[in-house]
Structure 1
Amino acid sequence: MIRVLVADDEPLIRAGIATVLASAGDMSVVAEAGDGRAAVTAALAHRVDVALFDIRMPDLDGLGALAELRRWMPELRVVMLTSFGVDEYVLRAVQAGAAGFILKNCAPDELIGAVRAAHRGEVYLAPAVTRAVIERVTPTDPDRRRVASARLAALSPREAEVLGLLAEGLSNAQIGQRLHATETTIKTYVSRVLTKLGCANRVQAALLARDAGDARRR
Structure 2
Amino acid sequence: MISSIKDLYDLENNPKINDLSLILLAEFYKEYLNRYCFQYRITDQTGEDKKEYTIDLRFDLENFCHLLGVEKTVKHVKNDVEILQYKGKMGWDNIENSKITLASLRKSTTKGNFNKNKDKYVFFYKLPKLAEAPKAVLFNKEKVLGNPTNIDCEFLFYDQYHNATIHLGIVYDEELSYYVPKTFFVERITASKDGLRFIGNQQVITVRKIDKTAL
- The verdict on a shared fold, with TM-score over 0.5 as the criterion, is no
Quick check: which one's helix share is greater? 1
Q: Give the TM-score category using the shorter length.
A: under 0.3
Tell which structure's C-alpha radius of gyration is larger.
1
The TM-score, its normalising length taken from structure 2, stands at 0.27
More strand by share: 2
